[in-house]
Amino acid sequence: MQSNQKIALIGLGKMGSAIAEKLLEAGLALVVFNRTQNKTEPLQKMGAQVADSIQSAVSDADIVFTSVIDDEALLSVSKEILAHAKKGAIHVSTSTILPNTAKELEAMHEDAGCIYIASPVLGIPKAVRAKKATTFCSGNQTAIKKIIPLLETYSAMVENMGGSISHANVFKVCMNYSLITAIELISELYVFAEKSGVDKAYIQGALKYMYSHPAVHVYIDKIYQRDFDQVNFDMKGGNKDVHLFQKAFLDAGVSPDLASVFESKVTEALANQMENKDWSAVSDVIRRRSGLE
């Protein structure tokens, strides 16, 4: 890997911290910044330089990674980055955002003489740490070729989806949309089986035979055991995601019917003190609606 590249990473939530660890493990020089400082300590011990502002983090960087919660946060952080970044700097955005926001960000970066790359991650922080994530990227192809070795420090597979900036985000929406559909299906079938007196282990076995993807198998077991305090992805995150899917579909002129089914349960979960449970606890909403417990 090019050791003379200067890399910054902004946003040290669970996902941002995991990506930072992998870049450091690969022996890369990394400057990190987070609004709340305490998240930087473990990374500092691993050799990261800690910046006290976005300006000082990015002013010298060739490549800037960001990992933030939503479209609004990314637009705001991007404005600060572009005010201080070097000409030609590459911004690698790992967040799950709307396809249309990616288009807006690409234009903003071009105006400032920088390059925006969409690079959302499929996988939870644990998968990133195990180098088992999948990364989809789209945008400027010369820049993508430069950053692929960096993405490969945490991804088992990097899928280059070409020059249209929004395509990686469209694909990420499709993957997460599939996951909420699976969670809803698994939950409904277990409850239907339980109410019908059928051992739900039959359903568990059949679902595993139907799905091959390990992420779906995690939920087939998690919902079976009703293990919602071990959080893969929390209900607040689920709420953000489901509204993002709906907006993305509506922007494309497609009715997000399966997402709306899931949304109704997330809303009820949030209204009933379940905001810190795993998002698959929608299953308990379906149970309660069906008269169980």
Q: 130 or 193: whose CB is closer to a second copy? A: 193
Q: 85 or 182: whose CB is closer to a second copy? A: 182
Nearest to 45 by CA among 14, 24, 69: 24
Beta carbon of residue 213, minimum distance to a second copy (angstroms, whole number): 4
Q: 124 or 185: whose CB is closer to a second copy? A: 185
The b/e string for 202-211 (b: 16+ C-beta within 10 A; e otherwise) is ebbeebeeeb
Beta carbon of residue 186, minimum distance to a second copy (angstroms, whole number): 9
How far is the CA of 141 from the CAs of 6, 9, 161, 184, 235, in angstroms?
A: 20, 21, 10, 37, 36
Beta carbon of residue 202, minimum distance to a second copy (angstroms, whole number): 6
Q: Bin 95: left if φ > 0, else alpha if -120 < ψ < 50, else beta.
A: beta
How far is the CA of 153 from the CAs of 7, 24, 270, in angstroms?
A: 13, 9, 36
Beta carbon of residue 198, minimum distance to a second copy (angstroms, whole number): 5
Q: Give the relative orientation of helices 282-289 and 167-195 as an angle to the nearest 10 degrees.
A: 40
Beta carbon of residue 140, minimum distance to a second copy (angstroms, whole number): 17
How far is the CA of 92 from the CAs of 65, 150, 186, 277, in angstroms?
A: 5, 10, 35, 30
Interatomic CA distance for residues 223 and 190, integer angstroms = 8
Q: 38 or 254: whose CB is closer to a second copy? A: 254
Beta carbon of residue 286, minimum distance to a second copy (angstroms, whole number): 7
Beta carbon of residue 132, minimum distance to a second copy (angstroms, whole number): 14
Interatomic CA distance for residues 180 and 261, integer angstroms = 10
Q: Which tokens go with 42? A: 């473990």
Q: 34 or 93: whose CB is closer to a second copy? A: 93
Interatomic CA distance for residues 67 and 16, integer angstroms = 5
Q: 75 or 258: whose CB is closer to a second copy? A: 258
Q: Which tokens go with 186? A: 């698994």
The footprint of a second copy (CB under 8 A) covers 99, 159, 161, 164, 166-167, 170-171, 173-175, 177-178, 181, 184-185, 188-189, 191-193, 195-198, 202-203, 206-207, 209-213, 216, 248-249, 252-258, 261, 264, 286, 289-291
Q: How many C-beta neighbours within 10 Å does residue 91 have?
A: 31
Q: 212 or 225: whose CB is closer to a second copy? A: 212
